[in-house]
């Protein structure tokens, strides 16, 4: 077993009980830590139930009609029925099932279904899993409502292809009466259409490593985007460098189309290197898998570098040298890009990451995983406050915080209490956690109702803390980051990721100082960690694409791989 990270002074909470507490008991435990905020949505605050007050519970029924029999895969009959609501005056945009909405959290409820069949009606009650807990008894006003059936398949999240979905219904709720909601699953969610572009090719090939680990067939998937000259027999270059792009969840086809359009344009081509782009699919059953080897997702990183990349270089005209391979990503994809470059220096020669998810776990968004006892609440000598999860910029020094961590994890739990919601915290658990033998699922970082952090899980997660890795091996890993990794983060990042980026930069600077004090040379090079004034998690991306595009061109040019 790994030792606790050095410097940890956190009081150790009691070990997780093998007997699950009731939701009511766990909420009471949360109230002893800090105030639990009961709210239905930001746009319409509904008075919470007073102590001892009763209110009627609304009825939700989801039907799977007989005429929909052909929509259902006979092998995918078990799963969850999820109901999403969105107030008409909500700040959130899109259909209810496009949630959860970070800009304006909205109610979500779900119930387990073991064998969905045509003609069946599934009821959700106040005893089902809801966020907020009392949602069926608090709703008031006009809402849009939508239901999804998310079967137990490899698809990531409730919007995965093959899931069943209902039309959007508009419902008027009344606080003092029982409202009836009837929804019908009438459509199957289609797979996103691949780009209709002559220079884009979809690749899908089975992975022996991943299939063996999962005891089922698992595939590598990517969208290949070729430069205009790739098929030109008179082109000066016949063998091409490669940019491996880790696409955000659900964005692979859209990103491939964007890259193909830029490469085909004389005006826009300058923002992209003249190379082959491999837009990698990083979605697994738990969400983004980050291309790391984990118990839940299997040996994703090893399979990428030992199976998929050699397969692509055998099939296509790609230069088979590290200098000809770079990796690029944003958010979770940015984190994966950094780790692939650090862990596989013989495969990738450079990484380009925008707003990478936490690189220092003592600054995991706004949480210090090594010292804080509770994920949801931060305590001072005088007060306990809810910890922010997502912010929007209001002014030079003012933020709006529409979602706190308690709400983010509460919505993930409402979608899937078993931990495969496809949300960010469930995805992190699948990346970093061991499998919990009692649940056969990734071990949770914290109790999803109270926020109490599990120190044993933190031990496992700390393995992937880049700052701590560098502190243990500064001369090798510090030098790799300094010479090969480029990171751009906004100083107003929506998830506060600039904090961990600054910590990584300070760590690299410390490595350089120690080397100088001992008369050793610390490598320079083009690597950097830069904080961009005023940029958010979203607005940093177009800035990074332009800058990284030019820097990738220069990287390949120095290796004599770019014309």
Structure confidence by residue, pLDDT tens digits, 446-486: 999 999 999 999 999 999 999 999 999 998 999 999 999 99
Would the pLDDT of 26 be above 50?
Answer: no
Confidence bin at 397 (pLDDT 50/70/90): confident
Tokens, residue 67:
């005429």
- The pLDDT of residue 46 is 60
What is the share, in percent, of the chain residues with pLDDT greater than 90?
Answer: 70
- Integer Cα distance of 387 and 101 in angstroms: 17
CB 93 within 8 Å of CB 55:
no
The pLDDT tens digits for 295-310 are: 999 999 999 999 999 9
Confidence bin at 2 (pLDDT 50/70/90): very low
For residue 377, the surrounding DSSP H or E stretch is strand 377-379
Would the pLDDT of 4 be above 60?
Answer: no
CB 295 within 8 Å of CB 213:
no
> What domains sit in the chain, N to C, each tagged with a CATH number?
59-188 (2.60.40), 200-360+465-558 (3.40.50.1820), 362-462 (no CATH)
Buried/exposed 14-52: b ≥16 CB within 10 Å, e otherwise: eebeeeeeeeeebeeebeebbebebebbbebebebeeee
- The pLDDT of residue 233 is 81
The pLDDT tens digits for 72-123 are: 888 888 999 999 999 999 989 999 999 999 999 999 999 999 999 999 999 9
Confidence bin at 426 (pLDDT 50/70/90): very high
Tokens, residue 346:
């013989």
The whole-number average pLDDT for the span 530-556 is: 96
Residue among 351, 348, 350 nearest 335 (CA): 351
The whole-number average pLDDT for the span 22-41 is: 42
Would the pLDDT of 12 be above 50?
Answer: no
Would the pLDDT of 316 be above 70?
Answer: yes
- The pLDDT of residue 308 is 98
Exposure of 129 by Cβ count < 10 A (0-12 exposed, 13-18 middle, 19+ buried)? Answer: buried
Strand partners, 328: 245, 352
Confidence bin at 20 (pLDDT 50/70/90): very low
Confidence bin at 11 (pLDDT 50/70/90): very low
The whole-number average pLDDT for the span 56-64 is: 93
- Integer Cα distance of 480 and 522 in angstroms: 10
DSSP result, 48-69:
PPPTT---PPPEEEEEE-GGGG
DSSP result, 130-152:
EESTTHHHH--EEEEEEEEEEES
Question: Of residues 325 and 37, which shows the higher confidence score?
Answer: 325
Confidence bin at 418 (pLDDT 50/70/90): very high
- Integer Cα distance of 373 and 447 in angstroms: 11
Tokens, residue 70:
């052909």
Tokens, residue 43:
């746009």
* Those residues with Cβ within 8 angstroms of residue 249's Cβ, 6 or more apart along the chain or in another chain: 156, 157, 282, 283, 287, 288, 332, 422
DSSP 270: G
The whole-number average pLDDT for the span 159-182 is: 93
What is the SS3 string spanning 431-465? HHCCEECCCCEECCCECCCCCEECHHHHHHHHCCC
The whole-number average pLDDT for the span 363-373 is: 97
- Integer Cα distance of 486 and 328 in angstroms: 10
The pLDDT tens digits for 209-238 are: 999 999 999 999 999 999 988 988 888 888
The whole-number average pLDDT for the span 30-34 is: 40
Exposure of 163 by Cβ count < 10 A (0-12 exposed, 13-18 middle, 19+ buried)? Answer: buried
Would the pLDDT of 7 be above 80?
Answer: no
Would the pLDDT of 434 be above 90?
Answer: yes
CB atoms within 10 A of CB 11: 7
Q: Range with the lowest mean pLDDT among 50-54, 202-206, 262-266, 408-412?
A: 50-54
- The pLDDT of residue 249 is 78
Would the pLDDT of 13 be above 50?
Answer: no
- The pLDDT of residue 47 is 64
Buried/exposed 434-459: b ≥16 CB within 10 Å, e otherwise: eebeeeebbbbbbbbbbbbbbbbbbb
What is the share, in percent, of the chain residues with pLDDT greater than 70?
Answer: 91
CB 457 within 8 Å of CB 443:
yes
CB atoms within 10 A of CB 61: 15
Exposure of 168 by Cβ count < 10 A (0-12 exposed, 13-18 middle, 19+ buried)? Answer: middle
Instruction: Please give the backbone phi and psi of residue 463, each rounded to the nearest 5 degrees, phi first.
Output: -55, -30
Average per-residue pLDDT for the chain: 88
Q: 């939701």: which residue's tokens?
A: 23
Exposure of 511 by Cβ count < 10 A (0-12 exposed, 13-18 middle, 19+ buried)? Answer: buried
pTM over 0.85: yes
Query: ∠ CA 244-545-334 to the nearest 5 degrees?
Result: 55
């Amino acid at each position: 077993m790994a030792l606790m990270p050095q410097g940890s002074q956190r009081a150790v909470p009691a070990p997780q009980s093998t007997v699950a507490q009731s939701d009511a008991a766990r909420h009471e435990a949360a109230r002893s830590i800090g105030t639990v905020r009961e709210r239905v949505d930001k746009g319409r605050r509904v008075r919470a139930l007073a102590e001892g007050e009763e209110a009627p519970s609304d009825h939700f029924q989801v039907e799977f009609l007989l005429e929909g029999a052909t929509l259902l895969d006979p092998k995918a009959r078990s799963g969850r029925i999820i109901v999403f609501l969105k107030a008409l005056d909500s700040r959130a945009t899109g259909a209810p099932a496009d949630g959860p909405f970070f800009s304006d959290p909205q109610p979500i409820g779900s119930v387990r279904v073991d064998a969905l069949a045509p003609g069946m009606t599934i009821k959700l009650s106040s005893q089902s899993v809801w966020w907020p807990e009392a949602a069926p008894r608090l709703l008031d006003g006009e809402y849009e409502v939508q239901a999804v059936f998310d079967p137990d398949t490899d698809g990531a999240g409730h919007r995965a292809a093959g899931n069943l979905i209902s039309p959007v219904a508009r419902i008027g709720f009344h606080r003092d009466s029982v409202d009836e909601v009837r929804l019908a699953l009438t459509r199957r969610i289609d797979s996103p259409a691949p780009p209709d572009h002559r220079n884009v090719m979809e690749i899908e090939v089975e992975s022996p490593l991943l299939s063996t680990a999962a005891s089922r067939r698992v595939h590598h998937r990517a969208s290949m985007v070729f430069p205009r000259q790739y098929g030109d027999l008179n082109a000066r270059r016949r063998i091409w460098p490669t940019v491996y792009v880790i696409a955000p969840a659900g964005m692979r086809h859209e990103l491939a189309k964007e890259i193909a359009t830029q490469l085909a344009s004389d005006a826009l081509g300058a923002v992209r290197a003249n190379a082959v782009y491999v837009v990698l699919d990083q979605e697994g059953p738990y969400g983004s898998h980050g291309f790391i080897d984990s118990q839940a997702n299997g040996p994703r990183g090893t399979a990428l570098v030992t199976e998929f990349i050699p397969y692509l270089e055998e099939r296509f005209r790609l230069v088979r040298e590290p200098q000809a391979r770079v990796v690029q990503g944003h958010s979770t994809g940015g984190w994966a890009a950094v780790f692939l470059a650090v862990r596989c220096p013989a495969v990738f020669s450079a990484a380009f990451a925008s707003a990478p998810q936490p690189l220092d776990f003592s600054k995991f968004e706004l949480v210090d995983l090594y010292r804080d006892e509770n994920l949801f609440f931060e305590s001072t000598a005088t007060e306990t406050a809810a910890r922010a999860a997502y912010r929007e910029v209001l002014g030079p020094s003012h933020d709006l915080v529409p979602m706190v961590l308690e709400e983010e994890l509460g919505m993930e739990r409402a979608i899937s209490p078993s931990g495969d919601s496809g949300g960010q915290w469930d995805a992190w658990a699948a990346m970093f956690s061991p499998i919990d033998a009692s649940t056969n699922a990734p071990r949770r970082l914290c109790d999803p109702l109270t926020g109490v952090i599990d120190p044993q899980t933190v031990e496992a997660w700390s393995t992937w803390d880049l700052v701590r890795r560098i502190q243990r091996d500064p001369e090798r890993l510090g030098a790799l980051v300094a010479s090969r990794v480029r990171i751009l983060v906004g100083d107003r990042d929506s998830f506060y990721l600039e904090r961990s980026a600054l910590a990584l930069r300070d760590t690299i600077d410390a490595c350089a100082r120690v080397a100088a004090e001992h008369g050793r040379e610390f490598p320079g090079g083009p690597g950097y960690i830069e904080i961009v004034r005023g940029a958010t998690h979203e607005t940093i991306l177009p800035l990074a694409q332009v800058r990284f595009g030019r820097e990738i061109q220069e990287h390949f040019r120095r290796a004599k791989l770019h014309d």
